[in-house]
Structure 1
Amino acid sequence: MATAKIITWSRPNKDGQYPIGIKIYNNGKTSYIFEGHTVPSRDAWNAKKQEVRKAVPNAARLTNYLTKKLTEVRDQALEMDTNKENPSPQRIKKVFQNELENTEAGRKRLMFADIAGQYLQDALDSGDLDVYRSEKSRIKRFLEFSDGGQIPFSEITVEYLRRYVIFLKKDKNRNGNENTPRKPLSNRTIMNHLLGVRTLWNRAITAKMASRDDYPFGAGKISIKFPESPKIGPDFDELEKLEKIELTKRRLHHARNICLVSYYFAGMRITDTLLMKWTDFQNGRFHYTMSKNGEPGSLKIPEKAMAIINQYKDDKPAHDLVFPDLKRLESLLDRTNLRRAVNSSEGRINKAIKEVMGMIGSTKNTSPHKFRHAFAQRAEEKDVHPKVLQKLYRHESILTTMKYQSNFSHRKADEALDAVLGL
């Protein structure tokens, strides 16, 4: 007859922790069920008392979880023995895991930390480095709040998330250095944290590891609404000064070029600007597929843009790229390395363009992305139709375009203010 017991693995993992789980054995054969739970030492499991020693964080909860799981494994083994299957440990493990996947017990046994860990690993494997970095920090805060994430999704209720919001409001921004005072998290940051939890909830539902009946988001529950943030880019006078200023330092000259080319091509994102290739210029037009949403299209080539691009004609960077920022990459197909290189380049350009803006007398907190805002502001001033802007921005929905442009529509409000004040 097959038997099972709770054991700790004989060797530590890369973090120096010892995996703890279920050992199944029968007729000299063994199999193990580990799901990512660890303890700091092999003797953290008290076999005599059948409990995780109290010195281990969340000992009681981990003991309950392991004990419940052990009971389920033994019940499965007993049922198979009763049916005279004489199962191997591997067979018990397989049947146990497959059967639980589609049951309420299976959904409850999968913890938030399990889904979160797989989500981060998927982001890494697919090369989505930005997603991995941003979500990792948000998940870390939820793990702190939820005792390491050892909580089933059914217990992440509306009330639980309201307490989480209070926890976040008490937390401080950790991005500053030691000399920078910590600031409370902004409402936008808090909404991003809730959005991360909702994303994992949806993944758990899709994997049938959580029930939509327990879903805590939506009308009358937890609502995620992002506060509006000001979108301010360089104005027309500042753009003219940027075009005319003589810059002797190459890094400043290059940063100015990147930002202006982005502006000239309808506020093209910096990733697409850095990935611009010579072969993208065909029949007097610039053809490219937006990296954010995969939308293809083409644009007229402004003379000002071509004048800047031609400055790089003799550089001959790798991969047929116009700009040299990514030339050290062996391949553009490695998404992780590509994302890392783009982020590094953007950081350098961001620092340099701030310096240039100071040189023309501007106090605006400018970044490469703000030149997208600059284009949108000029488009609003020129009354460009939203349908045209939708095509320029590659938005899938006209509603997205109209919502984005509303950030720059000030004329009617200004006229109303003047009318009321008699100006």
Structure 2
Amino acid sequence: MKWGQALKDYKLYLKIERGLSENSIENYSRDVKKLINYLEHHNINESPITIAKEIVQGFIYNVAKNINARSQSRLISGLRSFFSYLIFEDYRTSNPLELIESPKIGRKLPDTLSEEEIDTIINAIDFSKPEGERNRAMLETLYGCGLRVSELINLKISDLFFDEGFIKVTGKGDKQRFVPIIDVTQKYINIYRKEIRNHLNIQAGFEDTLFLNRRGKQLTRAMIFTIIKRLAEKIGLKKNISPHTFRHSFATHLLQNDADLRSIQLMLGHESITTTEIYVHLDKSHLTKVIEQYHPRK
């Protein structure tokens, strides 16, 4: 088996068997392509089936000199997955990455905003402009429901179940979940719909899209990012924030107010509780309060 065919079959496996997105498939493929380029550059004539662990290790060590620990870990993980696939298909009996340890990576705690900072950002919106009410509704939804930016821009009017107190969110992998929406967020969405959206010339295909630009089309991720960056600059905020910062803040504030991780996990749409723990940085004061409240020997 040649490298080109192995990579083609592997990509098909990731798509059909693993159900990964095109972006994820491309990331995995890029790791294998780096190995292929290394072999060609050093005139190493080994197939995916016969390549020895020493050669793969040599490649890893060669590349590791020029990339950081996180990139090293990503590369090792990608190649380990590729060779695991070959074992799964009975092309190989061992994984040349099995003795290579990924470098330890410290978890980077995400920037969060305090409740006061969120209020200051929203109050900095220029409500004299038509997009003012829209921007407030969007930021209130990002923070009030803990949405990803892609989930925000794809939110539909038909996804709003205000009478029941929920919105339907389509997340990664087109997985849907219901997220509670508080009254204040509902209020600002309704104001935006009545005072701004209903007066737009909505383009065909976007009739059900909730948040629209002034031309009546769906907003882009970049536009949401720009809106938030400009507001942060306007108030002189020194933190490096993005739409995701509102999601981090949503989870953090829930935890600080004694919400349990499992509930936060469901609202964020995380498959694993471990992912939720990355977003929600558990501070000592919260842990102390939990012990004092719930331990039987308190």
Asked if these proteins are the same fold (TM beyond 0.5), I'd say: yes
Compared with structure 1, are the counterparts of its residues 239 and 135 closer, same or farther at alpha carbon in structure 2 (3 Å cutoff)? same
- The aligned counterpart of 1:195 is 77
- The aligned counterpart of 1:407 is 281
- The aligned counterpart of 1:369 is 244
Match of 2:281, SS? helix
Tell me which of the two structures has the higher relative contact order, counting C-alpha pairs closer than 8 angstroms and 6 or more residues apart. Answer: 2
- The aligned counterpart of 2:209 is 321
User: What is the aligned-residue RMSD (CA, Å)?
Assistant: 3.7
Cα pair 1:390 1:398 within 8 Å, conserved: yes
Query: How far apart are the structure 2 equivalents of 1:160 and 1:258?
Result: 52
Match of 2:40, SS? coil
User: Structure 2: which 5+ residue stretches go unaligned?
Assistant: 290-298
Give a deviation string over 1:44-73, Cα, whole Å, max 9, x none: xxxxxxxxxxxxxxxxxxxxxxxxxxxxxx
Task: Give runs of aligned pairs for residues 257-406 of structure 1, distance below 5 A.
Answer: 257-265=137-145, 267-282=146-161, 283-293=163-173, 295-310=175-190, 311-312=192-193, 313-314=197-198, 315=200, 316=202, 318-324=206-212, 345-401=220-276, 403-404=277-278
Within the candidate set 28, 37, 40, 1:147 is matched to 40
User: Structure 1: which 5+ residue stretches go unaligned?
Assistant: 1-109, 172-184, 330-341, 416-423
Q: Percentage identity across aligned positions?
A: 18
Task: Give runs of aligned pairs for residues 152-171 of structure 1, distance below 5 A.
Answer: 152-171=47-66
Task: Give runs of aligned pairs for residues 5-154 of structure 1, distance below 5 A.
Answer: 110-120=1-11, 128-135=21-28, 137-147=30-40, 151-154=46-49
Cα pair 1:268 1:372 within 8 Å, conserved: yes
Match of 2:78, SS? helix
User: Which structure has greater strand proportion?
Assistant: 1
**Which one has a bigger Cα radius of gyration?**
1
Shift of the alpha carbon at 1:225? Answer: 5.2
Query: How far apart are the structure 1 equivalents of 2:14 and 2:135?
Result: 30
- The aligned counterpart of 1:242 is 121
Shift of the alpha carbon at 1:298? Answer: 2.1
Match of 2:166, SS? strand
Match of 1:230, SS? coil
Compared with structure 1, are the counterparts of its residues 399 and 196 closer, same or farther at alpha carbon in structure 2 (3 Å cutoff)? closer
TM-score by length of 1: 0.55
Compared with structure 1, are the counterparts of its residues 251 and 228 closer, same or farther at alpha carbon in structure 2 (3 Å cutoff)? farther
Shift of the alpha carbon at 1:378? Answer: 0.8
Amino acid at match of 1:305: T
Shift of the alpha carbon at 1:400? Answer: 4.4
Q: How many residues are matched?
A: 274
Shift of the alpha carbon at 1:289? Answer: 4.6
Query: How far apart are the structure 2 equivalents of 1:376 and 1:306?
Result: 19
Query: How far apart are the structure 1 equivalents of 2:101 and 2:53?
Result: 6
Cα pair 1:112 1:150 within 8 Å, conserved: no
